Amino acid sequence: MTTYEQLFENNKKWIASMKEKDVDFFEKLAKDQTPEYLYIGCSDSRVPANEIMGLDPGEVFVHRNIANLVVSIDMNVMSVINYAVANLHVKHIIVCGHYNCGGVKAAMTPKDMGILNPWLRNIRDVYRTHQAELDGIDDEHDRYNRLVELNVQEQAINVIKTAVVQNSYLANRYPVVHGWVFDLKTGELKDLNINFDEVLHGIQKIYDLTGEFS
């Protein structure tokens, strides 16, 4: 177990290792950020965004919350998406869930979770939207894994519903939104291959905010 004091020792070692790779690393880091990617993932300590993608500081803008949810009235995630698209001009937005997600598991459990109820309700709504498919899966663990994937898919669609993403895509053909799942048992990232154009066209009748498609 790492002690609290060790964290500062670790920090010194990390500084040294980064400088060893590039002596000007911190001068460059302090100048500006121009990340190509926005990553929206789960807060789970086992899914560190930069590390699983092999990216250095400065290369990915990150937002994490319980079960990687994109809720339209959550000012936090909406501010992150708006800033990443309008100011940082990210080319890709990745929603990344993970198997064995405690948040998704909790949403599958019929129990009063107190303050977490309204948050987990978003996942229960994903279940309801895909109830026919999910109820058709007999094995509980397989059903749980599938809900993790469907939750990622629905949250990616929620990103596509935002005005800032729709307007930027219309003008620039980016950002493209992706849905991934991280497998804790193997360390692998699985691309759910969400067809961005198809999803955008599919939801435009109801969710278009650009006025271009009416």
Residues 87-106 that bind Co ion (CB under 5 A): 101, 103
- C-beta of 62: minimal distance to Co ion in Å? 15
Q: Figure out which of the listed residues 42, 69, 126, 160 binds Co ion, where binding follows CB under 5 A.
A: 42
Residue (42 or 60) nearer to Co ion, CB:
42
- Backbone angle region of 187, left / alpha / beta, with phi > 0 → left and psi within -120 to 50 → alpha: left
Point out which span in 28-36, 39-47, 172-180, 191-199 binds Co ion (CB under 5 A): 39-47
Q: Does 44 bind Co ion (CB under 5 A)?
A: yes
CB of 67 to Co ion, least distance (A): 5
Classify the C-alpha dihedral 162-74-50-198 as positive or negative: negative
Instruction: Tell me how far apart the alpha carbons of residues 78 and 64 are, in angstroms, rounded to a whole number.
Output: 12
The residue (of 80 and 101) whose beta carbon lies closer to Co ion is 101
Strand order in the sheet with 37-42: 60-65, 37-42, 92-98, 176-182, 189-191
Closest to Co ion by CB, 152 or 199: 152
For Co ion (CB under 5 A), the number of binding residues is 4
Span from 37-45, 72-80, 152-160, 167-175 in contact with Co ion (CB under 5 A): 37-45
Q: What are the catalytic residues? A: 42, 44, 46, 98, 101
> Is 90 or 101 the residue whose CB approaches Co ion more closely?
101
Q: What whole-number distance in Å separates Cα of residue 140 and Cα of residue 109?
A: 12
Residue 97: CB atoms within 10 Å? 30
C-alpha of 147 from chain center: 15
* Least Cβ distance, residue 3 to Co ion (angstroms): 26
Of the ranges 2-10, 36-44, 151-159, 163-171, which one interacts with Co ion (CB under 5 A)?
A: 36-44
**Which residues, at least 6 apart from 103, have a Cβ–Cβ distance to it below 8 Å?**
42, 66, 67, 119, 120, 123
Query: 57 by DSSP, 3-state: which?
Result: coil
> What is the binding site for Co ion (CB under 5 A)?
42, 44, 101, 103
